[in-house]
Amino acid sequence: MADLIQENCCKCNIPFGIEAGHRRQLLERGGTFHCPNGHAQHYTDTKVKRLERDNLRLEESKDFYERMYRDQIKQTDHARRSAASYKGQVTKAKKKALQQLGALKVIKGGRQ
């Protein structure tokens, strides 16, 4: 004997049985069924619709994380270039300071 699941018509509220396998199929794929008084009805949220929504959310998350990853790569690259630039400026300032120190020694040496 088939398992019957009780449903109530969304229009006239009459209780009626729907075979479990058929109900599962309607929940998974959608489709219209009728109460004994002939009112058409369907389940509003099918498994396929839920999976499609989940898939869309996953795609959006994937896009978000890919954009975040690309932004991180850009920021890291920018930070590397900045560090190299500062290192160059420090080297240049060090060299200039050493040259000035050398010139100062020459001046001081000349006074003695």
**Closest distance to Zn ion from the beta carbon of 9 (Å):** 3
**Which of the 8 DSSP states describes residue 45?**
S
Measured over all CA atoms, what is the biggest interatomic distance in the chain, rounded to whole angstroms?
120
Q: Are strands 15-19 and 4-8 parallel, antiparallel or unpaired?
A: antiparallel
AA letter at 85:
S
How far apart CA 47 and CA 24 sit, in angstroms, is 9
Residue 21 or 36: the one with the smaller Cβ distance to Zn ion is 36
Residue 16 or 25: the one with the smaller Cβ distance to Zn ion is 16
**Closest distance to Zn ion from the beta carbon of 18 (Å):** 13
**Closest distance to Zn ion from the beta carbon of 3 (Å):** 22
Q: What are the structure tokens assigned to 7, written together?
A: 């449903």
Using alpha carbons, select from 37, 51, 36 the residue that is nearest to residue 4: 36
Residue 26 or 35: the one with the smaller Cβ distance to Zn ion is 35
**Closest distance to Zn ion from the beta carbon of 15 (Å):** 10
Give the interface with Zn ion as residue ranges (CB under 5 A): 9, 11-12, 35, 37, 39
Residue 37 or 72: the one with the smaller Cβ distance to Zn ion is 37
Give me the residue whose beta carbon is nearest to Zn ion.
Answer: 9
